[in-house]
């Protein structure tokens, strides 16, 4: 049955409207905290570090298990074809079968404390892995936060550029009207058209930078590049002020909880234990062995005892101890000790360099925060006075007392003042978050390790 034309058109319109609504659904905006959490959870670096920590936990369990005695069982069987010793001790042509059973255990009583030190080393490595995972998470979070604020800056710059372009278009329409009335000349109109073209170019440039900024944010988050991403405006109502913390005070406290400092100290401590393990190879090893064994023998054509009787009757036990004294092994022990000493020296140098770098980071961050606070205050005054000057130039231009070039110049100065104020504000927020981080406030909430 054919539908009426009007009904067909109505259904088509409804379908197109529904499709348009689906396509025009707004993209969900992400907060900074959600971006940071997503980046940390999906970062290849943090996932690799988590897998390595799982290996470290297994190494720790294995090191503990080495303190336990080893236990093993053995079963052997053999068929013999040809001549054998008969019951009268003469050689006869007969096949035979015999098999043996045994179970034994061995325990190292003393081995230069290497097993104990191996447990200590595995434990330190496990703890170090946790610190390195926290450090990797913090690094990913900070890089993502920086990319987030870049996108926020570009978005606000697009808004400023749009407002600048709209003002230029209004001025151009006004100037064209004034030229038509003979109040202004063609040079003023040409200047206004150049200004409108310049602002249009700037808007295009800012939009491109926003697009690149979003791409870089996706890359930091390991976010699917084919999916759209939008961010929630950040709360910038916090009063801008200088830090009350000193770099020295922050550094001394940060040594107790910052992952970078804890990891550097743990790595140096692991090198000390590794040196003790290498030195343990010089000491003798004392081991204890114990076990039991039995066997069964069957001769073809002979009067053989049953398996049960032989299994029970031939059962024997043994216990023994051994002492292994290292005398010379091709300088392997001495070389291992020297290598461990060098590794310890390297670890200590790297630890000191890391801690010096950490202090420099804290000092620079505090200086940047305080400098951004000063810049924001100065940029605010600059924007205020530039706005007043621009309003005065606009009135002068309307009254014919200022040229289009002067209005153009004051407009650009106002745009730059607004951009400087925005940049210094966002820079202060970013540095403030880092100072908080150095003072013990995490960038993101700690996540349990899988």
Q: Walk along the chain (450 residues) and give the pLDDT tens digit of each residue.
A: 344 444 344 444 444 444 444 445 566 889 999 999 999 999 999 999 999 999 999 999 999 988 888 899 999 988 877 666 655 566 666 677 888 999 999 988 888 888 899 999 999 999 999 999 999 999 999 999 999 999 999 999 999 999 999 998 988 888 888 888 777 788 888 888 888 999 999 999 999 999 999 999 999 999 998 899 999 988 888 899 999 989 999 999 999 999 999 999 999 999 999 999 999 888 898 999 999 999 888 777 666 777 888 888 888 898 988 888 888 877 888 898 999 999 999 999 999 999 999 999 999 999 999 999 999 999 999 999 999 998 898 888 887 788 888 888 888 999 999 999 999 999 999 999 999 999 999 988 766 555
SS (H, E, C) the chain: CCCCHHHHHHHHHHHHHHHHHHHCCCCCEECHHHHHHHHHHHCHHHHHHHHHHHHHHHHHHHHHHCCCCEEEEEEEEEEECCEEECCCCCEEECCEEEEEEEEEEEEEEECCCHHHHHHHHHHHHHHHHHHHHHHHHHHHHHHHHHHHHHHHHHHHHHHHHHHHHHHHHHHHHHHHHHHHCCCCCHHHHHHHHHHHHHHHHHHHHHHHHHHHHHHHHHHHHCCCCCCCCEECCCCCCCCCCCCCCCHHHHHHHHCCCCHHHHHHHHHHHHHHHHHHHHHHCCCCEEEEEEEEEEEEEEECCCCCCCHHHHHHHCCEEEEEEEEECCCCCCCHHHHHHHHHHHHHHHHHHHHHHHHHHHHHHHHHHHHHHHHHHHHHHHHHHHHHHHHHHHHHHHHHHHCCCCCHHHHHHHHHHHHHHHHHHHHHHHHHHHHHHHHHHHCCCCCCCCCCCC
Domain ranges of the chain: 29-68+112-283+331-438, 80-110+289-325
C-beta of residue 350 within 8 angstroms of C-beta of residue 267: yes
Asked if 142 contacts 443 with a C-beta cutoff of 8 angstroms, the reply is yes
157, 208 contact by CB (below 8 A): no
Place of tokens 């369990």: 61
- CA-closest candidate to residue 45, choices 259, 216, 220: 220
Q: What is the pLDDT of residue 16?
A: 43
CA 125 to CA 57: how far, in whole Å? 9
pLDDT of residue 11: 40
Residue at token pair 């927020």: 429
Dist CA 27 CA 377 (whole Å): 35
Task: Report d(CA 175, CA 403) in Å as an integer.
Answer: 11
- Tell how far CA 245 is from the center of its chain: 27
pLDDT of residue 366: 96
CATH number of the 29-68+112-283+331-438 domain: 1.20.1600.10
Per-position b or e across 49-77, b if 16+ CB within 10 A of its CB: bbeebeebbebbeebeeeeeeeeeeeeee
User: How many Cα atoms are found within 13 Å in the side-chain-facing hemisphere of 130?
Assistant: 14
The answer to whether the CB of 240 falls within 8 A of the CB of 327 is no
**pTM of the entire predicted model:** 0.81
Angle among Cα 273, 276, 281 to the nearest 5 degrees reads 135
């Amino acid at each position: 049955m054919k539908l009426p034309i009007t009904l067909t058109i109505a259904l088509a319109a409804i379908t197109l409207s529904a499709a348009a609504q689906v396509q025009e659904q707004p993209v969900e905006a992400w907060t900074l905290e959600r971006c940071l959490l997503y980046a940390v959870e999906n970062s290849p670096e943090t996932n690799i570090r988590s897998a390595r920590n799982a290996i470290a936990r297994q190494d720790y369990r294995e090191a503990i298990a080495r303190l336990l005695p080893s236990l093993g069982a053995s079963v052997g069987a053999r068929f013999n074809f040809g001549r054998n010793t008969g019951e009268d001790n003469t050689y006869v042509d007969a096949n035979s079968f015999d098999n043996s059973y045994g179970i034994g255990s061995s325990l190292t009583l003393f081995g230069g404390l290497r097993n104990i030190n191996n447990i200590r080393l595995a434990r330190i490595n496990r703890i170090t892995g946790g610190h390195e995972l926290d450090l990797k998470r913090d690094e990913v979070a900070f890089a993502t936060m920086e990319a987030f604020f870049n996108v926020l800056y570009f978005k606000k710059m697009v808004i400023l550029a749009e407002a600048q372009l709209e003002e230029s278009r209004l001025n151009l329409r006004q100037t064209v009207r004034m030229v038509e009335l003979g109040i202004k000349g063609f040079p003023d109109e040409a200047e206004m058209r150049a200004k409108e073209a310049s602002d249009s170019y700037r808007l295009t440039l800012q939009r491109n930078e926003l697009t690149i900024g979003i791409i870089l944010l996706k890359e930091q988050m390991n976010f699917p590049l084919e999916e759209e991403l939008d961010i929630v405006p950040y709360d910038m109502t916090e009063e801008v002020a200088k830090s009350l913390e000193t770099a020295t005070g922050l550094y001394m406290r940060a040594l107790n909880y910052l992952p970078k400092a804890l990891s550097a100290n743990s790595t140096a401590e692991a090198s000390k234990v590794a040196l003790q393990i290498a030195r343990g190879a010089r000491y003798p090893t004392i081991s204890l062995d114990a076990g039991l064994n039995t066997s069964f023998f069957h001769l073809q054509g002979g009067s053989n005892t049953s398996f049960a009787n032989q299994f029970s009757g031939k059962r024997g036990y043994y216990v023994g101890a051994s002492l292994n004294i290292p005398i010379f092994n091709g300088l392997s022990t001495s070389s291992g000790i020297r290598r461990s000493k060098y590794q310890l020296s390297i670890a200590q140098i790297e630890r000191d360099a890391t801690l010096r770098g950490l202090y420099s980071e804290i000092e620079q961050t505090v200086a940047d925060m305080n400098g951004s606070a000063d810049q924001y205050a100065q940029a605010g005054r600059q924007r205020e006075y530039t706005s007043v000057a621009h309003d005065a130039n606009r009135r002068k231009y309307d009254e014919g007392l200022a040229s289009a070039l002067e209005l153009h110049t004051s407009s650009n100065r106002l745009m730059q003042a607004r951009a400087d104020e925005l940049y210094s504000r966002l820079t202060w927020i970013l540095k403030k978050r880092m100072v908080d981080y150095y003072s013990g406030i995490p960038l993101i909430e700690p996540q349990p390790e899988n």
